[in-house]
Structure 1
């Protein structure tokens, strides 16, 4: 039953029945939700065998599909590739004009077609079999031509499309997408795929930055590291801090062993106390036992150290405690670690 709602007027068009629009949206979601629940009940031995086939594959998963099934196929290939299963998409029409050369006998071909009667797929099925590749069909008709060519068939059948005409691929493409996701999830679990593996295939993403970027990748080195000796006059120490622009300077001995650190915060506290800064030396004002990190530490761990101790920078030392770098919160923000 349609809900009572005011009609909406669009310039140049007849008024829109808002209640009907909302009801069609809800009907679409109901139909697609029922399609997924039905899809769930149809999965069984064939799905397990498909996972086993892909796990045993010495090549790659080659995904194919025409039209809307092709768009879904591109997404499935991308999801498989990013979760530990090497995969790529080949357009069936292009395959019959040379791109079939991308397919080898070691590959598993995942061919997607709701009807199972796509002309472009049908034209290359015999060639795929001659190549020796293993063909897995994902189709809404298990008695289709595509299913007959396949070594294994995954049913993506739906009772109806969400389209009021029952023509436009809607519920069927939702089912294909979900079935592809289910396959990818089952495979990543079987492979023991973990967060760090995901990060390696997503180095540009936030997880990749958190799990793969190390302090050594971001730290200042060489002349960019602020450092003075313990006998440096206070004015020389301030000049070093100003020149390097990190808001702190290390205090190190002649062998670069870290003795302490002096920060902008330490300077403010000295001024508040009214100290006579002219007669001070670095050894008099440095903060001993500063927070240190190793260059092989994760950048995200350095960020957590700064947050935990409410500091804006850390010194980087090697195993012998020698100063080799410096890192501040701005470096981490630029790298989008924080």
Structure 2
């Protein structure tokens, strides 16, 4: 057997795989990338000997690669919470898909594993900005205020590390970050360990967020806010977590963080209002390189000349 683990490079994808490999250790080929690099299956060639696990990347965006794998006889397990498109009916495909906006992939894996590594799942929920769900789970787990803040910060930091136009923008490549967390059965041990990435990411996050908080707001209405960040590595790294921060500050508004990519396009991160977690995927999917899920979505390359049209569409959709 040849094992291949394909996963999103954000907190949800990394922690979803982390739980599985803590429960079912195996050497595998790791296939991942920055958070926006989601067509991961389409890049690969498969054989009948392959046992493939796919986590937190849209099935709809990977349908070519998925069908290619199934056609050659590979076995595929698929966990995700994004829009799947038409799920193939195939005996070699085991798909666990749930588009509920209060669910993330790590929580689907947590249910599959019957809560074996539940603290990691709560960390992922915090990192994916499912704050109400994470707090609900923390209540059931009887976590203290200090423990909740630890998991919230760690989840945010892991998520923050996944944003960038390329791996070069990131502090730690996602595959390496996954491997660095694998020795730890729970996130509290990882936070306390001398060799944990926690301290490195904490310092980097604080520096980047200080820059983002001085960003220019280019559109502000009763229903949405749009912030423009310059062509800098820090702005590409912070775009997602800054969007989460803004959404939590103004839960009745939609938010977009627009980062100049320096090539005539913008990288855009969109958050639906926390009190109306729907539509982000619809707005972004209207643009060629856009997609995502109901509560959070993005556009990888929006031409500069389309920015005004995007801002108008965002405000129109949520008005």
> Shared fold by TM > 0.5?
no
Q: Which has the larger radius of gyration?
A: 1
TM-score by length of 1: 0.27
TM-score by length of 2: 0.28
Higher normalized helix content (fraction of residues): 1
